[in-house]
Amino acid sequence: MSDGLRLDWCSYQAARYAVEHWHYSRTMPRCPTARVGVWEGEHFVGAVIFGMGAGRATDGRRFGLAQYFEVAELVRVALREHQAPTSRIVAVGLKLLRKQSPRLRLLISYADPRQGHIGTLYAALGWWYVGDTEPSKLYIDKAGHEHHPRHVSPRGWKRHYGKPQRALRPQDAREVVRLPGKHCYIKPLDVETAIRLQPLRKPHPRRAGSIAVDAPSAQDGEGGSSPTPALQT
């Protein structure tokens, strides 16, 4: 691009570096991902990361779509200081994703009010606000680490992509924090999907004063067992 902005597919390691250094969550999603790197001139300035989920938060079946092939989630926008507008960077990243995964019909993402986010980035991109998720809980272990309920089990383990993994037991949590629901946004990618989902559209949340465009929050969804090839890690 003439102003030095360039986006292309990047490695898991590069995307993880961007998330751990430039995204407030500091954690790379566990779900299968499609990772778009962002460069300005010769400088790597971050990554836009898409994923596929199997939990309700990213389950396309509630929108009448195939869970593993027609729906993806914008899970991270991890950028250092940069010149190009964030909305433009995400829009170009989405074009790359659609070219590589032509069966996609809908994107989903979430803005976390706990982080002060209301979804300004999505409004700038023309995404639709469709309501909030249900309130949830966050478990804090004795070392101060946070655990989503999907990683908590009375048995002390859970299956992840068919493999057993250790999980926090509720009785071992130091604290349980109740969280508000997240603002849910969608981006229909074809006319039929847009017409069918139009009744779900609601006015964007607002808050007083002007705010900067905010990046997506840490997401609730887990990767599916049979994601599209473009979204495999």
Taking the alpha carbons at both ends of the chain, their separation in whole angstroms is: 28
pTM of the model: 0.78
Q: Which among 223, 218, 224 has a CA at the least distance from the CA of 27?
A: 218
CA–CA distance, 153 with 169 (Å, rounded to integer): 5
What is the pLDDT at residue 150? 77
Domain map (residue ranges) of the chain:
5-133+182-231, 136-179
For 176-206, write each residue's pLDDT tens digit: 988 888 999 999 999 999 999 999 999 998 8
What is the pLDDT at residue 211? 40
CA–CA distance, 155 with 151 (Å, rounded to integer): 11
CA–CA distance, 26 with 197 (Å, rounded to integer): 33
Q: Are 176 and 140 in contact (CB under 8 A)?
A: yes
| Of 175 and 6, more confident | 6
Q: What is the homologous superfamily of the domain 5-133+182-231 according to CATH?
A: Gcn5-related N-acetyltransferase (GNAT) (3.40.630.30)
Q: Which among 162, 140, 158 has a CA at the least distance from the CA of 150?
A: 158
Question: Residue 111 pairs with which residues in a beta bridge?
Answer: 183
Q: Check residue 161 and report its DSSP letter.
A: T
Question: Residue 51 pairs with which residues in a beta bridge?
Answer: 33, 73
Query: Please, how many CA atoms are within 13 Å of residue 231, restricted to the half-sphere of its CB?
Result: 33
CA–CA distance, 193 with 196 (Å, rounded to integer): 5
For 27-72, write each residue's pLDDT tens digit: 998 888 999 999 999 999 999 999 875 555 556 788 888 767 899 9
What amino acid occupies position 105?
Answer: R
CA–CA distance, 47 with 65 (Å, rounded to integer): 27
